[in-house]
Amino acid sequence: MVSKALFKLLLVFSLFTASTLSYGSNEPVRIVEAEALEVVQEEEHGASTEHSEESHVSEHHAPPGWTVIPFVVLLLMIATGPLFYEHFWHKNYPLVAVALATLVVLYYLFGLHNTHGPIHALAEYVQFIALLASLYIASGGIMIDIDKKSSPIANVILLFVGAIVANLIGTTGASMLLVRPYIRLNKTRIKAYHIIFFIFAVSNIGGSLTPIGDPPLFLGFLKGIPFFWTLEHNIGAWLFALVLLLAAFYILDKRNHSNYGLADDEISYTNKIKLVGFRNFIWLAVIIGSVFLDPNVISWVPAIHYDGQKFSFLREVIMLAVAYFSYKFANKKAIYGNEFSFEPIREVAFIFIGIFGTMMPALAIVSGFAASPEGAKLISHNTLYWGTGMLSGFLDNAPTYLNFLTAAMASQGGEIGSISQVVDFARGGVFHDSVLDLKAISIAAVFFGAFTYIGNGPNFMVKSIAEQIGIKMPSFFGYIIRFSIPFLLPLLILVWLVFFAFVG
């Protein structure tokens, strides 16, 4: 009951925000179609014997509210650990994540006698981490050295190119590939805002056009959303946000006349761009190609059949093999020049073991509440945008995306565990306003992930690299007060006004 109340409170707050910002719009909330509500009510009240039996089984296996505690604890520790008890967290985060996940999995297996949830979560985790690890390791073997004098227009071009590249090799891969060349380019005038806008543009907003781009979108792809859906529906908001963001950056960078930074001596430039480790681009191409080996799309691709679904394994084997060979045969000069380390991806791997293991009850409870008439009335593209966004900014945006996609589908009687229903939800015509709902969730999860250091995985990795090089970065709250509120928040409001507030 507590978790349902919290979810309701979040949606109510999101609704209030959306209603206030829409200047008194007459219909800020879309009421779910009567047919969808009738289906939900029939299932809840047992209109038929068959429905009654199904409801009984579902209720018997539904997790109680207290089972979300490990999930909440893990997310809070992810948010506060690096800030307030850094030594303990850095040393023990693998143990914490695995222990909390194990508690939930054991309860599912022996308390709820539910093997389906843990097996599905395991399959999705393997798919998820295989992509991230392979992109991170393969991109680590490529070193780009830009020996040109820094200028605002050169930085704008690099950030825009980085935003495009993020959709091809992921925000993690693009961040690791470009952050060091970006810092070297600006070595005589580097300041914290250079890194923050890199996080905004390359590590987050840039990767909203493909499932490869950002972890939340890849999770949606694994659930059944077509690969090119994000490109078709997100490109307008992507271009709008980047143009405004880079315009603000250009004005800010134009005012930076400093001729100091990481280099004190006068420097002569060759105006050349040097690339070391070109062969790793071939490995990246193999990774990208393997993404399409989805047994749910291509019938001849081998798969593991379980619980009426087909789980990929060939794609993941290829990705992990690429991760191994791309590092083993990488150009050592590129590895050393990039100061490559496995620690960032190791942290992501362990943290997401915890997230995938502990978020199962949260997804089930959110789905159950949203499927009720009371919960369904609170769901609209406006509340989904602000609800997904607020949580994505202060927690990890990947599980937040899944929670709100689950809620949006459940509010109309849909099931996120059904690939066919997810496809119907993405394509529209079956569920009411589902394309707009999914667009709101997708854009909010990716864009708001830039709001804090902890909103998206690459954010902290970029911050860590910058600090290791010697750049003084703002604190957690300094990041929010000095950059997110004055620069990012107005942009997020404009995106909402242009693409969501008066639509539908």
What one-character-per-residue DSSP string does 185-254 give? HTTTT--HHHHHHHHHHTTTGGG-SSTTTSHHHHHHHHHT--TTHHHHHHHHHHHHHHHHHHHHHHHHHH
> Taking 90 as the threshold, does the pLDDT of residue 94 lie above it?
yes
Between CA 469 and CA 184 the distance in angstroms is 10
- Under DSSP, the state recorded for 278 is T
> Taking 70 as the threshold, does the pLDDT of residue 380 lie above it?
yes
**Is 43 part of a structural domain of the chain?**
no
Q: Using alpha carbons, select from 175, 218, 230, 217 the residue that is nearest to residue 197.
A: 175
pLDDT value at residue 442: 97
pLDDT value at residue 145: 85
Residues 6+ apart with CB under 8 A from 136: 172, 173, 176, 344, 345
Q: Using alpha carbons, select from 424, 373, 448, 170 the residue that is nearest to residue 288.
A: 170
**Is 132 part of a structural domain of the chain?**
yes
**Is 40 part of a structural domain of the chain?**
no
Among the residue ranges 14-18, 203-207, 296-300, the one predicted with the least confidence is 14-18
**Is 35 part of a structural domain of the chain?**
no
Residues 6+ apart with CB under 8 A from 21: 493, 496, 497, 501
pLDDT value at residue 267: 66
**Is 26 part of a structural domain of the chain?**
yes
Domains of the chain: total:
1
Q: How many helices (H) and strands (E) does the chain have?
A: 22, 4
Judge contact between 385 and 500, C-beta under 8 A. yes
**Is 234 part of a structural domain of the chain?**
yes
Could you give the percent of the chain with pLDDT greater than 90?
Answer: 46
**Is 483 part of a structural domain of the chain?**
yes
Between CA 252 and CA 241 the distance in angstroms is 17
- Under DSSP, the state recorded for 277 is -
pLDDT value at residue 240: 98
pLDDT value at residue 126: 92
Judge contact between 253 and 436, C-beta under 8 A. no
Which tens digits make up the pLDDT trace of 28-85? Answer: 334 333 333 333 334 444 433 333 333 333 444 578 889 999 988 987 887 788 778 8
> Taking 50 as the threshold, does the pLDDT of residue 189 lie above it?
yes
234-245 core/surface letters (b: 16 or more CB in 10 A; e: else) = beebbeebbeeb
Query: What is the rounded average pLDDT of the residues 152-177?
Result: 92
> Taking 90 as the threshold, does the pLDDT of residue 325 lie above it?
yes
Determine how β-strand 303-306 pairs with β-strand 309-312. Answer: antiparallel
> Taking 80 as the threshold, does the pLDDT of residue 230 lie above it?
yes
76-93 core/surface letters (b: 16 or more CB in 10 A; e: else) = ebbbebbeeeeeebeeeb
| 490, two tokens | 């107005």
Residues 6+ apart with CB under 8 A from 323: 130, 133, 134, 137, 138
Strand partners, 414: none
Q: What is the DSSP string of 372-393?
A: SHHHHTT--HHHHHHHHHHHHH
Residues 6+ apart with CB under 8 A from 185: 146, 148, 150, 154, 155, 158
Residues 6+ apart with CB under 8 A from 208: 167, 214, 217, 230, 234, 237, 238, 442, 443, 446, 447
Between CA 93 and CA 75 the distance in angstroms is 12
Q: For residue 291, what are the domain limits? A: 2-30+62-501
pLDDT value at residue 19: 37
**Is 55 part of a structural domain of the chain?**
no
Please provide the distance, in angstroms rounded to a whole number, between the alpha carbons at the two ends of the chain.
Answer: 32
When comparing pLDDT for 303 and 395, which is higher?
303
| 232, two tokens | 């078709």
Residues 6+ apart with CB under 8 A from 491: 241, 244, 245, 447
Query: What is the rounded average pLDDT of the residues 153-178?
Result: 92
Task: Give this prediction's pTM.
Answer: 0.77
| 202, two tokens | 């390359």
> Taking 50 as the threshold, does the pLDDT of residue 298 lie above it?
yes
Q: What is the mean pLDDT of the chain?
A: 83
Secondary structure of residue 276 in the 3-state scheme: strand
Among the residue ranges 111-120, 394-403, 446-455, the one predicted with the least confidence is 394-403
Of the pLDDT bands very low, low, confident and very high (cuts 50, 70, 90), residue 265 is: low
When comparing pLDDT for 76 and 141, which is higher?
141
pLDDT value at residue 258: 67
